[in-house]
């Protein structure tokens, strides 16, 4: 398609970097831990305030704002052919404990700014453009990653599971949702969107890896998202007095957990591929007293790979280790639950091509890459052609307070997003 006007307006137009940076700072103050860290957990007071902030910005940009039963937020700019499937973009603003300001946020605030850029340029969308803020991309509160996008993509399994899901404080999902103002979170099938609801979905995100910065490349064009899985494990033993119970008499649930954590590392390394990773990010001992032998241990294991079969193989080895550790230590495996075991997702050629040509027109260096982190895009790919735009971040840091993306890199990402949206809107 020949789009001379579009191209001309974009090379001249710039992002309102000052406002965008101010918004990133303001949003980061809705946090339950001190700056520079950010902690924003699903349906907490801070999350509710941050949601209000986003809805307000969407309204200020002239978008019509809607929310679904779990609080996925949609801001729509009607196109001149509004009966066509819209083009959507977005990300999340929830933040894991003690993380940073940019993960997800760049793809929400940046998407709203991309709309502003398009509006200022005089662009008129043919297909409607929609900004989506997804509920709970992070698994922090209920142990379920990409909760909002998984439901949007029609996960019956998750809708069923959420009926009985509670958080660490034993608060049910629907009570937590009600606290945040979502009264209808029992009716989860209302969240499902049929395939074809969008003609394209594209997410802007920090790379969360070091490649773009190291190679001084402005933009990453994501071709695939690695396959994540998470597992919950509980061991139980008899516990007892740390002085009085002699070593041969013990069945220590904590040592079983420690051994399983090491087994995770071993199985991952034995895959022989640098792309296989595994992490025990949660390890809790009960009763958690120095002079009491742990009677219960709870682990949560995250394992990922770009190769799904290889990742599944690691999961089976972890399961076998859990069983053999139990036998050897006479502890009970009271739970071994695979919470999710998601396949990888591929970007759609039509979107990667649109993004690549946007980069060329904007004179920005770019390279194709895979995403090792997961994103809402992993699930949007089930109902829509999907693509992602990465920008460099400082040393690849993410999920920690030192996370940083330079204002000009954020602005470049927004410009590429805006031009990609414009192209897809006219397609």
Residues 6+ apart with CB under 8 A from 52: none
Q: Is the separation of the CB atoms in 47 and 140 below 8 Å?
A: no
Within residues 68-107, the interface with Mn ion by CB under 5 A covers 103-104
Segment near Mn ion (CB under 5 A); pick from 124-132, 232-240, 285-293, 317-325: 232-240
Would you say 103 or 113 has its CB closer to Mn ion? 103
Residue 373 makes contact with ligand GLV by CB under 6 A: yes
Q: Closest separation between CB of residue 9 and Mn ion, Å?
A: 30
Q: To the nearest whole angstrom, how small is the minimum distance from the Cβ of residue 406 to ligand GLV? A: 21
173 touching ligand GLV, by CB under 6 A = no
Task: Give the whole-angstrom CA distance, residue 229 versus residue 295.
Answer: 27
Q: Where are the alpha helices (DSSP H) in 103-252?
A: 105-121, 147-152, 156-162, 173-179, 211-215
Can you tell me the distance from the alpha carbon of 208 to that of 392, in angstroms, rounded to the nearest whole number?
Answer: 8
CA angle 225-228-233, nearest 5°?
Answer: 175
Q: Out of Mn ion, ligand GLV, none, which partner does residue 180 contact, by CB within 5 to 8 A per kind? A: none
Contact status, residue 353 vs residue 390, Cβ threshold 8 Å: no
Q: Is 404 exposed, middle or buried (0-12, 13-18, 19+ CB in 10 A)?
A: middle
Nearer Cβ to ligand GLV, position 202 or 227? 227
Minimal CB distance to ligand GLV: which residue? 373
138 interacts with ligand GLV by CB under 6 A: yes
In degrees and rounded to multiples of 5, residue 290 shows phi and psi of -60, -30
Does 385 interact with Mn ion (rule: CB under 5 A)? no
CB of 120 to Mn ion, least distance (A): 27
3 φ/ψ angles, rounded to the nearest 5 degrees: -130, 65
Q: Which stretch binds Mn ion (CB under 5 A): 126-134, 173-181, 189-197, 231-239?
A: 231-239
Nearer to Mn ion, 104 or 125 (CB): 104
Looking up tokens 């003609």, which residue turns up? 199
Q: How far is CA 371 from CA 220, 402, 407, 418, in A?
A: 9, 20, 22, 21
Per-residue binding string, Mn ion, 285-324, x by CB under 5 A, is -------------x--------------------------
Q: Which does 94 bind (CB under 5 to 8 A by kind): ligand GLV, Mn ion, none?
A: none
Helix (H) or strand (E) run with residue 48 in it: helix 45-60
Q: Which does 234 bind (CB under 5 to 8 A by kind): Mn ion, ligand GLV, none?
A: Mn ion
For strands 95-99 and 292-293, give the pairing: unpaired
Q: Which of 374, 379, 390, 397 binds ligand GLV (CB under 6 A)?
A: 374
236 contact choice in ligand GLV, Mn ion, none (CB below 5 to 8 Å, kind-dependent): none
Nearer to ligand GLV, 94 or 130 (CB): 94
Footprint on this chain of ligand GLV (rule: CB under 6 A): 138, 373-374
Footprint on this chain of Mn ion (rule: CB under 5 A): 103-104, 232, 234, 298
């Amino acid at each position: 398609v020949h789009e001379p006007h579009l191209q001309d307006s974009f090379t001249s137009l710039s992002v309102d970097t000052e406002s965008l940076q101010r918004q990133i700072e303001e949003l980061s103050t809705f946090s339950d831990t001190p700056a520079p860290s950010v902690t924003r957990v699903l349906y907490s007071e801070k999350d509710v305030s941050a949601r209000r902030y986003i809805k307000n910005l969407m309204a200020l940009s002239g978008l019509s704002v809607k929310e679904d039963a779990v609080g996925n937020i949609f801001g729509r700019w009607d196109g001149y052919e509004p009966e066509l499937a819209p083009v959507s973009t977005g990300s999340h603003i929830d933040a894991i404990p003690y993380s940073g300001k940019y993960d997800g946020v760049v793809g929400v605030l940046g998407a709203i700014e991309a709309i502003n850029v398009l509006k200022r340029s005089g662009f008129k969308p043919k297909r409607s453009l929609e900004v989506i803020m997804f509920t709970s991309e992070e698994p922090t509160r209920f142990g379920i990653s990409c909760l909002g996008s998984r439901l949007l993509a029609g996960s019956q399994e998750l809708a069923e599971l959420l009926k009985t899901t509670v958080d660490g404080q034993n608060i049910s999902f629907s009570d937590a949702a009600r606290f945040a103002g979502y009264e209808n979170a029992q009716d989860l099938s209302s969240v499902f969107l049929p395939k074809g609801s969008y003609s394209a979905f594209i997410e802007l995100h920090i790379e969360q890896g070091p490649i773009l910065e190291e190679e001084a490349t402005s933009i990453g064009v994501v071709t695939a998202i690695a396959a994540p899985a998470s597992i919950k494990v509980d061991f139980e033993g008899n516990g007892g007095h740390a002085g009085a119970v002699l070593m041969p008499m013990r069945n220590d649930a904590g040592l079983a957990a420690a051994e399983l954590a090491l087994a995770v590392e071993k199985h991952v390394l034995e895959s022989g591929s640098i792309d296989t990773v595994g992490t025990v990010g949660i390890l809790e001992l009960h009763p958690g007293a120095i002079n009491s032998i742990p009677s219960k241990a709870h682990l949560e294991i995250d394992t990922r790979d770009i190769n799904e079969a290889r990742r599944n193989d690691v999961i089976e080895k972890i399961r076998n280790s859990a069983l053999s550790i139990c036998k050897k230590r006479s502890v009970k495996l009271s739970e071994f639950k695979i919470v999710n075991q998601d396949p990888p997702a591929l970007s759609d050629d039509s979107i990667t091509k649109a993004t690549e040509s946007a980069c060329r027109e904007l004179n920005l260096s770019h390279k194709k890459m895979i995403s090792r982190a997961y994103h809402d895009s992993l699930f949007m790919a089930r109902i829509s052609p999907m693509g992602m735009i990465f920008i460099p971040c400082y040393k690849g840091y993410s999920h920690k307070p030192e996370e940083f993306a330079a204002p000009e890199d954020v602005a470049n990402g927004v410009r590429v997003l805006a031009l990609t949206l414009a192209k897809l809107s006219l397609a």
